[in-house]
Amino acid sequence: MSNSGLNERALATLALLAGLASCQARPTARQGFPAAERAVAPIVSDSFSTEDARDRAGEAEMVMQMAGVRPGMQVADIGAGEGYYTVRLAPVVGAKGRVLAEDIVPETRDALAERVQRENLDNVAVRLGLPDDPKLPPGSFDRIFMVHMYHEVESPYAFLWHMRDGLKRGGEAVVVDAERPTRRHGTPPDLLRCEFGAVGLSMTRFQRIEGTDSYFAAFAATAAKPVPEKIKPCREAPAA
């Protein structure tokens, strides 16, 4: 065999080994993480027709104020849908800040990318994630937002285990959800606290959003990431 053939085979072997190492470094939901012991709500569309109503209620403004979003911050909008929060975060963080909008549905990601381009949001990037890994750049974000989507996460422990890597030191993950069972498109606060706690994230703030059945909750990394096999799953309490 020629030297060029040997070199090609060596390069192919190295590429395969690198790929395997990458997979081992980022375990998936099938590699040791416990399954969710709760219902998982189906993904629903975030329709543009609701945006005026949400604006009239002042929802995004209240949430961003509670989260302490400021100019120059790096923020992520996970499960961004059609971009209700993305396009409102962009002017708040300003030209020196950045917004990463992530979704797991390719068609939704593409529609949001078109909206971002149409509205000339130069400080926004759009990314396709995975159901169990939002694919965030490590150590990058002051705030990671998950708004009315956490109850749709099928593999919460894998998702949170990967998501927390995206936080800067002192950063917070922000959840907005309804205080009702997961099968009814909400997350009970005690269940939320337990699932985040299982991967070393502690609740730092909690506030109900006036005039709604929703709440704001913020979490910070306060303990080391556990080995996936050591994570103890949380069980949703039966509805009253």
Residue 31 CA, distance from chain mean position: 20
The confidence score (pLDDT) of residue 39 equals 93
**CATH 2.102.10.10 at 59-230, yes or no:** no
Sequence letter at residue 138: P
Query: pLDDT tens across 19-44, in order?
Result: 333 333 455 545 789 999 999 998 77
The confidence score (pLDDT) of residue 132 equals 95
The confidence score (pLDDT) of residue 219 equals 98
The confidence score (pLDDT) of residue 161 equals 97
Q: What is the DSSP code string of 63-116?
A: HHHHHT--TT-EEEEET-TT-HHHHHHHHHH-TTSEEEEEES-HHHHHHHHHHH
Query: Rounded to 5, what percent of the chain is helix, strand, coil?
Result: 40, 25, 40
The confidence score (pLDDT) of residue 77 equals 98
The confidence score (pLDDT) of residue 46 equals 52
Taking CA atoms, 15 is separated from 10, 19, 35, 91, in Å, by 9, 6, 32, 42
The confidence score (pLDDT) of residue 56 equals 75
Read off the tokens for 150. 């956490």
The confidence score (pLDDT) of residue 94 equals 98
Radius of gyration of the chain (CA): 19
Q: What are phi and psi of 146, to 5 degrees?
A: -130, 95
The confidence score (pLDDT) of residue 187 equals 96
Can you list the residues of the chain whose pLDDT is less than 50?
Answer: 1-25, 29, 47-49
Place of tokens 């190295």: 14
- Gap between the Cα atoms of 8 and 142, Å rounded: 43
Residues 6+ apart with CB under 8 A from 48: 82
Instruction: Write down the domain spans for the chain.
Output: 59-230
- Gap between the Cα atoms of 232 and 163, Å rounded: 18
